[in-house]
Structure 1
Amino acid sequence: MTQFDFFATCPKGLENLLYQELQGLGAESVRETVAGVHFTGELSLGYRACLWSRLANKILLPLNQFSVSNDQELYDGVAAVQWEEHLSPSSTFLVDFSGTSFAIRNSQFGALKTKDAIVDRLRTATGERPSVAKQNPDIRINVRLSRGRAVVSLDLSGESLHRRGYRLKQGAAPLKENLAAAVLIRAGWPDIAASGGALIDPMCGSGTLLIEAALIAADIAPGLLRPRFGFERWLQHQNDLWLSLREDARERKRIGLARELPEIRGYDADIHVIRAAESNVLTAKLDHWVRLSRKELKDFTQPTHKVLAPGVVVTNPPYGERLGDADALAYLYRYLGDRMRESFGGWQLAVFTGNPTLCHELGMKAHKKYKLFNGTLESELLLFSVHARTEKPANSEGSQREPERRKHVPAPVTLSAGAEMFANRLKKNHKQLAKWLKKESIQCYRLYDADMPEYSVAVDVYGEAVHVQEYAAPSSVDERDARRRFEDIKAAIPVALGVDPADVSYKQRRRNAGTSQYEKLKVREKRAPISVREGQASFLVDLWQYLDCGLFLDHRPLRLRIAQEARNKRFLNLFCYTASASVHAALGGARYTMSVDMSRTYLDWARKNFAENGLGEQKNRTEQADCMQWLASAEGEYDLIMLDPPSFSNSKRMDGVLDVQRDHVQLVDDAMRLLAQEGTLYFSNNLRTFVLDENLEARYNVENITAATLDKDFQRNAKIHQCWKISHLSRRN
C-alpha cells in the first residue's frame, strides 16, 4: 500500500499531545515541530486523523517543497505539481497562504501567485481553467512560506478541524474546540470518566468544554458532525475507504452512548449564555447526557448522585480584559477556591486562564502547569488536587453564632483616668450588646458614638478590626485637650476590646466636597481589605485607605429587609455606594439587580463584593452615572428600589449640585416612575434636619419606618438616618 507523508497543524502547546494522539491512530515516523506534527501512513490514516483527531487544526498532504528567493520561483514550484491529478477544471479551489519573505512581502500576493500557477498549469494540461471560490471551495490548497522555503500541500481537512459543526452559538470569549479537548486530556478526564467520576464546569459559557468532555467519554469521533471534509472532492479520494471508516466511527458512537456515561454538568450565571449552550448541546445530540442550568457560583455544589468516584472541575473563568476587572476577579477566584475546599475534597480542579496570576487567589498550589495558546494569547492550564477544609470557618454560610474575635493580650499598661473611663464605657456598651450580637450573629456593629461629649468619636467593630472616626472638635475645644483625649482613646481601645493596636484604624470626619470622599487617604502601610459577614452576605471593607470603609452599618436592618423581599424581584439601587444592598438582593433571589453610582471607585468595589459572594455580573449590572440625570431618562420597571442619596454633593462629575432637602421630591417622583404598580421604594437619607415634603404623602402611600430600620447599636442615635417605605396609591393591599 502507498505510504504518504502528512503534516498535522495544531495550536502552540499541543504538539506533544497531538504526537501521542497520532501514534494512537497508527501513525509512523511521528515527529514534532512548532505548532505541528509530521507523520506517515496510508491514505486511510489521513482520513482517520481528520475524523478522530481532537487536537489538530489541519491534516495536510504535502505535494511539493522548494526554495523561494523571488516570486518566479514560487510560481514555478507551485506549477511543478501535477494539479490535473488533484482537481478538475470544473473544480473550485481556494489558496490559504501563510508567511512572508523578502521576495513575498504579504500573504495576499503569495496566494495570487499560487493561484496563477495552478490555473495556468490546468489550462495548459486540459485547455480549461478552474475557478476560485472563497466560500465552500471543492479543494483547499495550503502554502506555508518560512525561512525561504515553501511547502505546498493539499488540505485534507477543508475547514479547520476545530470546527466540529455543533457550536452554532457562542459566548463572548469562546474556547476553540480542540483547545478545550486538550485542556480535558491534560486534566485527566479520559481516566476520570472511565472510573465514573463527574465533570463540572461552573462557568461553562457556550458549553464547549462540556460537549468535548461528552465526546471523549462516549468515544465519539469529533468529526462525525462535520458536513464535509476537504478530501471528499479530491480526484484521488477513495470513497469506499472513507465510508467504511465513517461507519466504524458511527458504530463506536452507538456503543459509547449505550453505556452509562458519567455525570457532566455545566452552570453559568448568564441565562442567555446557558440558552446558547443548550442549543449547542442539542446540535451535538448530547442533550440526554449533558445537564445545564443557570446557577451563580455561590450555588455551586458537588452532585449528590450518579458519581462513582471523585471527579474534576474544569473551567475557563474570565481573566480581566478591562481596567479594574482583575481586581474584582481576584475575589471570584478566591471564592471558587473556598467553594472547592468546602464541597469538593478529593476532586481535581483544572483552571485554564489567560491571567495565571489570578490563580494565586484560589489558595491552592498547582501540581501541574501547562503553557497553551488561546489564539495569540499565551495562557496556562493549572491543575490542582483539592483537599477538604478540615474546619468550616465560624463566619461561613450557615453559621449561627457570633464570630469570635482574636483576643490580643496587651502588654501591661497604666491608663490615665480619662482612658480608664473611656475603656470602661466600651466594656459596658459591649456587655449590653453581647446577647443581641450573639443571637443575631452580627460581627459588624457600632460600639460607641460620642456617648461622652469629651470623647467625641464613633467606634465600629468589623470582625477582628476596629474603626474609629473622630468627629472634628468645635473651635471652643482647646487643641491640646483634644490631642490628649485622643491619646486616651488610642490607649483604651486595645485594652478594652482585646485587639492588636495595629488592627485599629483612626480617622477624622469632616464635611467633604467634590470627590474627596472617594479618594484614598495617605497611609503609611497599605493594608488589604478584610471580608466581613452580614446575614448571608460577605462584604469587603477597607478600614485604612478610604474615609468611608465600604459598609454603612446603620442600614443593616434595611439591607436585611431587602434580602427578605427580593425574591424574583427586579431591584434598583440608586446612589448604590459599594452595592451592599444589591448583593443582599441577589443572594435573596432577585431576578436582576441594577446598581447606579457616580463613583468608579465604588462601582469597582461593588463588583468585588459581587465576586466575593460568587455572584456573576450578568444579572447584577453596575452603571456609572449621575443618579439624578440617570433617573430623568431611565426606562424599565423595577419591583424594589432603594434610594439613598447623600445629603449634599457638588462632585465635578455632576452638572449641578445635589441638595437632598431641595431635590428629594424630584428624586422620589423619578424613582416612582420606574416602580412597578405593586412595587416598593425605600427612600433614606442621613440629613439630621431633613423634612419630607408633605406633597409626596398626597401622591403616594408613604410610611415612616425609621424606627424599624435602627438596630440596637444605633438606637441611642435616632437621627443617624431617616427612612420611608413608599408605594403607589393604587397598589393592592
Structure 2
Amino acid sequence: MGNNYRMVAKTLFGFEDILAEELRNLGAMEVENGVRSVSFLGDKGFMYKANLCLRTALKIVKPLKSFRARNEKELYDGIYAIRWEDLITVHQTLAVDAVVHSEVFNHSLYVALKTKDAIVDRFRNTQGKRPDVDLKHPDLRINIHIQKDVCTVSLDSSGASLHHRGYRSATNIAPINEVLAAGMLLLSGWDGQSDFLDPMCGSGTIPVEAAMIACNIPANINRREFAFEKWSDFDADLFEKVTESSLNKTREFHHKIYGYDKAPSAIRKAKDNVRNANLSEYISIEQSDFFATEKNTEGKLHMVFNPPYGERLATDMERFYASIGDTLKQGYPGTDAWFITANMEALKYVGLRPSRRIKLFNGRLESKLVKYEMYEGSKKAKWNN
C-alpha cells in the first residue's frame, strides 16, 4: 500500500464516468470523478498501465505539491521550494504547461514562464548551472493547475496527449480525435459482440478504435514514447512486464468491422492507418456511398459515425441529414446507429426520434451523440411478439 499515490487522468467533457469505469476495470483504487478529470490511487506500475491502456484519458499526471498562491511571489516561492534536483539534472531539459482558473492569474503562458524562472533560478543558485527548456521533447514535463488561489504542481507522465496513438500516419481534412472516437464507442455500448459499420469512415479512426476495443488491445500500444520513460526513476523491466501482461489480455473477435467512404483519398488513408495499427484482418475498408447501401450482415449491426459537417449550404444540410434517416429506415433494420453532430438544426431532418442524446464536445464545438434504434420489421410487430 505504501507505494501508492494519487494521480489524475484528464479527459474530455462527458467522458468522466466511462473513464472512471475504465480505471476501476484496470484495478485503480479510490476512483473519484472531477470535471474533465478522474483522480485515483495506484503505484508506478499502474501509472505505466494507465498510460498504455486507458482509451478515454488525454493525460495522466502525478501531483507533486499543492500550495496557496495569492500573488506572483507566493507562486514563485512555492515552485522554488520544490526539490527539482531530485527529478532532473542540469544537463536535462524541461517544459511547463499551465491551466489557470483564477482572478489573480489570468494568463496561463505567464504562469508557465514564472514557473520555469523559479525552477531554473533554484538550479542556478544551488549548482551554478541551469537546465534548458525544450517544448517538443523535454526530459521532464511539468503541469501547473491554478484553481482560485490553489496551485497544484504535477508531473506529466504522458507527454504528448494520449490521443496520439501512433497508428495514424495519414488523416483526412478533419479527423476525429482518437479519444473522442473511443469514448463515443464506449458510450454507445460497443463491446465487440456483433458486426460493426462506420458508414462515413474518413481516415479510419472509428473502425480502428472499435477493433481495439473488440480485441481488448491496449489503446496506446503503437505509441512511440511516454514522458515517464525519461524520468529518473523509470523502471524499464517493470514497463516491459506491464506491456506484456496487457497484451496477454487481448481476446479474439468473431465478427467483422466495416468502414465505408465515398472519397478515394479517404479510403487510401484509412487502409494505411488500419495497416499501421496491425488490424487488417478485422477491418474491411470499402469505397461506398452510404446512401446507396443496405445492411449486408445477419443479426444485429452496431453503427457509429461522425458525419462530415462542413460549411455546407443549409438546403444541402437538410438533404444530407434526411438521406441519413432514409437510408437507415429503408436499408438498415436491426441496427443501433449512433452518430455525433454539432448541427442541432440539421438533426430535425433525420426524420427519426433519437432514443438517446448525450452532450459532448468535438474540439470546441458543442455536439450531441445521438442514437437511433432501427428495429427488425416494424416497431409494432416487435412489441406484439
TM range (shorter): over 0.9
1:210 aligns with 2:196: no
1:321 aligns with 2:311: yes
SS of the residue aligned with 2:300? Answer: strand
Q: How far apart, in 2, do the equivalents of 1:70 and 1:109 lie?
A: 13
Within 5 Å, give how 1:244-643 maps onto structure 2: 244-253=241-250, 256=251, 259-304=252-297, 307=298, 309-322=299-312, 324=313, 326-388=314-376
C-alpha offsets along residues 162-217 of structure 1, whole Å, 9 cap, x if unaligned? 11011122122221101101111111111xx1x3x111111111111110001101
Q: What residue identity is the alignment partner of 1:336?
A: I
Q: How far apart, in 1, do the equivalents of 2:180 and 2:290 lie?
A: 24
Q: How far apart, in 2, do the equivalents of 1:291 and 1:125 lie?
A: 60
Match of 1:198 in 2: 195
Q: What residue identity is the alignment partner of 1:321?
A: E
1:243 aligns with 2:240: yes
CA contact (8 A) 2:214 2:253 kept: no
Higher relative contact order (CA 8 A, sep 6+): 2
Match of 2:218 in 1: 221
Match of 2:381 in 1: none
SS of the residue aligned with 2:9? Answer: strand
CA contact (8 A) 2:215 2:253 kept: no
1:45 aligns with 2:42: no
Deviation of 1:358 after TM superposition, in Å, equals: 2.1
Alignment TM-score, normalising by the size of structure 1: 0.50
SS of the residue aligned with 1:108? Answer: helix
Q: How far apart, in 1, do the equivalents of 2:347 and 2:293 lie?
A: 18
Q: What residue identity is the alignment partner of 1:285?
A: N
- Say which one has the larger Rg: 1
Q: How far apart, in 2, do the equivalents of 1:241 and 1:127 lie?
A: 35
SS of the residue aligned with 1:329? Answer: helix
Match of 1:28 in 2: 29
Q: How far apart, in 1, do the equivalents of 2:67 and 2:50 lie?
A: 26
Q: What residue identity is the alignment partner of 2:321?
A: Y
Match of 1:69 in 2: 70
C-alpha offsets along residues 671-719 of structure 1, whole Å, 9 cap, x if unaligned? xxxxxxxxxxxxxxxxxxxxxxxxxxxxxxxxxxxxxxxxxxxxxxxxx
SS of the residue aligned with 2:13? Answer: coil
| Unpaired runs of at least 5, structure 1 | 391-733
SS of the residue aligned with 1:291? Answer: strand
Match of 2:382 in 1: none
Q: How far apart, in 1, do the equivalents of 2:123 and 2:248 lie?
A: 41
Q: How far apart, in 1, do the equivalents of 2:319 and 2:300 lie?
A: 26
SS of the residue aligned with 1:348? Answer: strand
Match of 1:118 in 2: 119
CA contact (8 A) 1:84 1:125 kept: no
Deviation of 1:386 after TM superposition, in Å, equals: 0.5
Q: How far apart, in 2, do the equivalents of 1:251 and 1:90 lie?
A: 38
CA contact (8 A) 2:104 2:149 kept: no
Q: How far apart, in 2, do the equivalents of 1:245 and 1:49 lie?
A: 10
Q: What residue identity is the alignment partner of 1:226?
A: R
Q: What residue identity is the alignment partner of 2:277?
A: A
Match of 1:473 in 2: none
Q: How far apart, in 2, do the equivalents of 1:153 and 1:50 lie?
A: 16
CA contact (8 A) 2:295 2:333 kept: no
Deviation of 1:388 after TM superposition, in Å, equals: 4.5
Q: How far apart, in 1, do the equivalents of 2:126 and 2:83 lie?
A: 9
Deviation of 1:345 after TM superposition, in Å, equals: 1.1
| Unpaired runs of at least 5, structure 2 | 379-385
Deviation of 1:102 after TM superposition, in Å, equals: 4.4
SS of the residue aligned with 1:223? Answer: coil
Deviation of 1:273 after TM superposition, in Å, equals: 1.4
Q: What residue identity is the alignment partner of 2:333?
A: G
SS of the residue aligned with 1:99? Answer: strand
Q: How far apart, in 1, do the equivalents of 2:121 and 2:26 lie?
A: 38
SS of the residue aligned with 1:273? Answer: helix
Q: How far apart, in 2, do the equivalents of 1:82 and 1:291 lie?
A: 53
CA contact (8 A) 2:207 2:257 kept: yes
Alignment TM-score, normalising by the size of structure 2: 0.93
CA contact (8 A) 1:95 1:114 kept: yes
Match of 2:83 in 1: 82
Match of 1:171 in 2: 172
CA contact (8 A) 1:199 1:312 kept: yes
Q: How far apart, in 2, do the equivalents of 1:162 and 1:7 lie?
A: 16
CA contact (8 A) 1:266 1:292 kept: yes
Deviation of 1:109 after TM superposition, in Å, equals: 1.4
C-alpha offsets along residues 427-450 of structure 1, whole Å, 9 cap, x if unaligned? xxxxxxxxxxxxxxxxxxxxxxxx
Deviation of 1:383 after TM superposition, in Å, equals: 1.1
Match of 2:55 in 1: 54
Q: How far apart, in 2, do the equivalents of 1:330 and 1:314 lie?
A: 20
CA contact (8 A) 1:202 1:300 kept: no
Deviation of 1:357 after TM superposition, in Å, equals: 3.2
SS of the residue aligned with 2:307? Answer: coil
Q: How far apart, in 2, do the equivalents of 1:374 and 1:303 lie?
A: 30
Q: How far apart, in 2, do the equivalents of 1:39 and 1:136 lie?
A: 27
CA contact (8 A) 2:103 2:148 kept: no
Match of 1:94 in 2: 95
Number of aligned residue pairs: give it: 378
SS of the residue aligned with 2:52? Answer: helix
Deviation of 1:303 after TM superposition, in Å, equals: 2.5
CA contact (8 A) 1:7 1:60 kept: yes
SS of the residue aligned with 1:252? Answer: coil
Q: What residue identity is the alignment partner of 2:317?
A: L
SS of the residue aligned with 2:6? Answer: strand
C-alpha offsets along residues 503-550 of structure 1, whole Å, 9 cap, x if unaligned? xxxxxxxxxxxxxxxxxxxxxxxxxxxxxxxxxxxxxxxxxxxxxxxx
Within 5 Å, give how 1:640-659 maps onto structure 2: none
Q: How far apart, in 2, do the equivalents of 1:126 and 1:2 lie?
A: 31
Match of 2:183 in 1: 182
Q: What residue identity is the alignment partner of 1:21?
A: E
Q: How far apart, in 2, do the equivalents of 1:389 and 1:329 lie?
A: 29
SS of the residue aligned with 1:161? Answer: coil
Q: How far apart, in 2, do the equivalents of 1:359 and 1:389 lie?
A: 24
Deviation of 1:320 after TM superposition, in Å, equals: 4.5
CA contact (8 A) 1:8 1:56 kept: yes
Deviation of 1:125 after TM superposition, in Å, equals: 4.2
Q: What residue identity is the alignment partner of 1:149?
A: V
SS of the residue aligned with 1:225? Answer: coil
Q: How far apart, in 1, do the equivalents of 2:112 and 2:101 lie?
A: 11
Q: What residue identity is the alignment partner of 2:199?
A: P
Deviation of 1:263 after TM superposition, in Å, equals: 0.9
SS of the residue aligned with 2:333? Answer: coil
